[in-house]
Amino acid sequence: MTDQRVGIYIRLSLADGDGKAESDSIGNQRELIHQFLDRHPQLKNAPRTEFVDDGYTGTNTDRPQFLALMKELRTGAINVMVTKDFSRCHRDYTQMGNYLECVFPFLGVRYLSVNDGYDSDDYKGMTSGMDVVLRNIIYEAYSKDLSVKTTTAKIIMMKQGKYIGSFAPYGFRFHPTVRNKLVIDGDSAAVVRRIFDMTLQGMGSTAIARRLNSEGVLTPGAYFRLKNPGSGRFRKASEKNGWTAASVLNILHQYEYTGALVGRKRYKASLHEKRTVPQDKGVKNGSDRLYQRFVRK
């Protein structure tokens, strides 16, 4: 193959979270691949472009840099793809097999997996072999096992009374020094208390929403954006959106305001799906029923 243009793809499922611009494992993958290419007789002088997805799972292809690389491969701007191993590209062995046997050959793409010792040029006119299939099955099994262990660890933390959510519920904020702990946020908690007070006074949810809007009280989304200007959460919400009966009812039905921590409200239907389904919370010593009767008054 002449005029080879290399696309280096690097992926890590979980960012280190240590404040660095990118995870250490990303740097390790980069060094491994560049050293490999520097020694490769055919590719050492080929132009290289990096595509990095830091913090994205390999169980699906919904990754921005992976999609960007695939676009370059389809247009022919890049015709060689290199990863550390098969699992960096995809952890689903059936999907990975589809890329190896169908997608890459159709696009005329040469694919190399460094740690697996795989070069698609070695398999022209034939299938990739049983060893490649077994490797991909092992990668997927590892991904499933890792998912179960991660979920189990989170459940243990929840049972210990630790909050594992990415964002604090409205009315709370994260403790400034203690991880996985919530404390009351004075400004937003005052709004929550007012909503409950007005409900106890007999006001309906629509009337409460009108009162809050007339006083210019920030909605939970607007308040979050005010406190977290760099976050992408609620970024699509319109500034014109105000309090509604539904948003008031949402506050009144939040179980967290009883003083209990609530976690894992939804869970993934399967490893390879982004879709989540609601968790059956059941009745906690009857308190849920009492709470619902309290809200309806």
Going along the chain from its start, the domains and CATH numbers come out as 6-153 (3.40.50.1390), 163-296 (no CATH)
- Asked if residue 139 has pLDDT above 90, the reply is no
Determine the Cα angle at 20 with ends 14 and 23, to 5°.
35
- Mapped onto helix, strand or coil, the DSSP state of residue 239 is coil
Within 113-185, where are the H helices?
Answer: 130-159
Average pLDDT over residues 10-39: 76
> CB-based contacts of 183: which residues, under 8 Å, 6+ apart?
172, 173, 174, 175
- Asked if residue 82 has pLDDT above 50, the reply is yes
The more confident residue out of 157 and 293 is 157
- Asked if residue 45 has pLDDT above 90, the reply is yes
164 within 8 A of 147, measured Cβ to Cβ: no
Q: What pLDDT is attached to residue 294?
A: 33
Q: Which residues are paired to 233 by β-bridges? A: none
- Asked if residue 126 has pLDDT above 90, the reply is no
Q: How far apart are CA 6 and CA 111, in angstroms?
A: 10
Q: How far is CA 126 from CA 95, 129, 131, 258, 261, in A?
A: 18, 8, 14, 64, 56
Average pLDDT over residues 181-189: 87
Read off the tokens for 155: 């459940």
Sign of CA dihedral 118, 122, 128, 129: negative
Average pLDDT over residues 231-251: 79
How would you label 237-260 residue by residue, b for 16+ Cβ within 10 Å and e otherwise?
eeeeebbbeebbbebbeebbbeee
Q: How far is CA 180 from CA 108, 109, 138, in A?
A: 49, 46, 34
Q: What pLDDT is attached to residue 231?
A: 75
pLDDT above 90 as % of the chain: 34
- Asked if residue 191 has pLDDT above 90, the reply is yes
The more confident residue out of 128 and 57 is 57
240 pLDDT band (50/70/90 cuts)?
A: low
Q: What pLDDT is attached to residue 63?
A: 92
Q: What pLDDT is attached to residue 263?
A: 64
180 pLDDT band (50/70/90 cuts)?
A: confident
Q: What pLDDT is attached to residue 229?
A: 79
| 136-140, 209-213, 223-227, 228-232, range with the lowest pLDDT | 136-140
Determine the Cα angle at 72 with ends 67 and 77, to 5°.
170
- Asked if residue 204 has pLDDT above 90, the reply is yes
Rounded to the nearest integer, the mean pLDDT of the chain is: 78
65 within 8 A of 53, measured Cβ to Cβ: yes
The pTM is what? 0.49
Q: At what angle do helices 186-200 and 245-252 cross, to 10 degrees?
A: 100
Q: Map tokens 């997996």 to a residue.
A: 113
288 pLDDT band (50/70/90 cuts)?
A: very low
Residues 62, 68, 72, 75, Cα dihedral to 10°: 70
- Which range of 26-30, 100-104, 165-169 scores highest in mean pLDDT? It is 26-30
| 150-159, 161-170, 190-199, range with the lowest pLDDT | 150-159
